[in-house]
Amino acid sequence: MSALADFHHQIEALRPVLLKYARLQLRNPAWAEDAVSETLLAALEKPQSFAGSSQLKTWLIGILKHKLVDQIRKNSRELSTSATSEDGEDLDDLLFTSNGHWREAQHDWGNPEDALRQVDFMKVLEACVDKLPGQQGRLFMMREWLELESDEICKELAITPTNLWVMLHRARLRLRECLQQGWFRAEPAGGAT
């Protein structure tokens, strides 16, 4: 196999993983396909910009992140209008009594290093992000995975800061609930090991 054909092959092999993150970010299969195709095309057009100093996947994810921002810009009208429509029940009322106290005692999640070092934990986290409702998931990913600033997100989607905080508040509470169920509940009490 020639070096170029080999390069094509390696890039194509990473398509599924790129698609996974594109879907997590955009929550729209067609847009995700577009972003990934554009990423692979950009990579194949200038293989020379892959210096080989970093891993191929790192380089491709870097390109993908730019293409995802492009897709968000292109579809911003649609994204900003769905900002309040589909986010399900408010967890706050389940967590707190009417006078604002916790209904249940909160758990100690223990030493983070223990969890964070494990690939299994990353998989649980990924599954929990995947379960977030569309707009909450999109905003959470923009903030935590694309690392956009809050004001950048508001500008791109033409939403108010208050709207953004409300959605991220819900997303983070849901994520916490999911991690509690999917990971920390299985740990011994107090996180002792």
Partner 1 sequence: MIKPMLNCREATELTLQAEDRRLPLTERLAVRLHHRVCGNCRRFARQVELMRQASKRWRHYSEE
Q: Which stretch binds partner 1 (CB under 8 A): 29-37, 44-52, 57-65, 74-82?
A: 57-65
16 binding partner 1? (CB under 8 A): no
Per rule CB under 8 A, count of chain residues that contact partner 1: 41
Asked if 168 and 91 touch (Cβ cutoff 8 Å), the reply is no
* SS3 (DSSP) at 143: helix
Q: Which stretch binds partner 1 (CB under 8 A): 6-14, 27-35, 80-88, 106-114?
A: 106-114
Residue 1: how many CA atoms within 13 Å on its side-chain side?
8
50 binding partner 1? (CB under 8 A): no
> Integer distance in angstroms from the first to the last C-alpha of the chain?
50
Report phi then psi at 55, rounded to 5: -75, 150
99 binding partner 1? (CB under 8 A): yes
Q: Which two tokens stand for residue 62?
A: 């870097």
One residue of 45, 89, 120, 147 binding partner 1 per CB under 8 A? 147
Residue 74 CB, nearest approach to partner 1 (Å): 23
d(CA 8, CA 3): 9
29 binding partner 1? (CB under 8 A): no
d(CA 135, CA 27): 8
Residue 162: how many CA atoms within 13 Å on its side-chain side?
0
Q: Quote the DSSP letter at residue 108.
A: P
One residue of 14, 26, 68, 164 binding partner 1 per CB under 8 A? 164
One residue of 8, 15, 57, 131 binding partner 1 per CB under 8 A? 57
The residues of the shown chain that bind partner 1, judged by CB under 8 A, are 21, 55, 57-58, 61-62, 92, 95-96, 99-102, 105-109, 112, 115-116, 119, 121-122, 125-126, 143-145, 147, 150, 161, 164-165, 168-169, 172-173, 175-176, 179
